[in-house]
Amino acid sequence: MSIPFLSLGESGFPLYFLHANGYPPECYRPLLAKLAAHYHVYSMHLRPLWQDSRPEEISDWLPLTDDFLRFMDEHQTGVSIGIGHSVGGIVALRAAIRYPERFRALVLIDPVILPPYVIRTWQVVHALGLSYLVHPLVLPTRKRRRQFDDLERLFNGYRDKAVFRYMDDSALHAYIEGIACSGDQGFKLCYSAEWEMRIYVTSMWRDMDIWRALSGLKVPLLIIRGAETETFWSSTAQKVLRKIPSARIVTIPKATHLVPLERPDEVFQGIQEFIQEIL
């Protein structure tokens, strides 16, 4: 089975964009449209969006990087630019660590890189089989409504939620259109609750390999983070810079972990300036 993907732009340097957990590529259309004006954008669907995929297939995130490398093989684009948001950033980073010769530049947008002491704590949680009980995002995911009869009503309901406070109306509409798929009765969330929870609980416990490999990363690196993120902390950013002094880290104000949806103009500008210096 070929891996499904969203393609934008037909010319320019090849660019691979990897999405976050629960956020299909279509959610990022405002940002991807800007990138597609300069690059040929391939936005692969991660495994939770594949037809007939099963959450129990994975026990960590390593298979997601294998999927990405297979996707690159399918498209034979040669040396490319890798961009990933959240879990997508970890997928792209592991690919670049394994095969640096395949990447001209790497951009991580608020990646799920946690400090070693958090990883070690999560390793204990994982070993005790408590991941589903302890992860703070599992219960909200399990309780989230997943069927809708009207997307405009969904927009009105989401408009006042604090989590979307920095998204303007156009970005919020793009997000809603991206997460919604046609269902038996109206619309449903494209991501199943089972897959979304599985991505959360299989995170981190294998990530000490990332910290061990960072100092040897041979690909030019840009990290973009939201100033109000709860994922890629400023202390983590400083630790990354000690590992990779050449890395560039950009913090965007009035933005959270959802910075590519909240601030597509600023994120694009940061990416574009970085890549133009590299190419």
- Tell me what pLDDT residue 8 has: 97
- Tell me what pLDDT residue 10 has: 83
Domains along the chain with CATH numbers:
5-278 (3.40.50.1820)
pTM of the model: 0.97
Look at residues 73, 21, 64, 86 and name the one whose alpha carbon lies nearest to residue 42. Answer: 73
- Tell me what pLDDT residue 11 has: 87
pLDDT block averages, 10 residues each, the chain of length 279: 93 96 97 97 98 96 98 96 98 98 98 97 97 96 92 93 96 96 88 97 97 97 98 98 97 98 98 95
Q: 235: exposed, middle or buried (C-beta count within 10 Å: 0-12, 13-18, 19+)?
A: exposed
- Tell me what pLDDT residue 204 has: 96
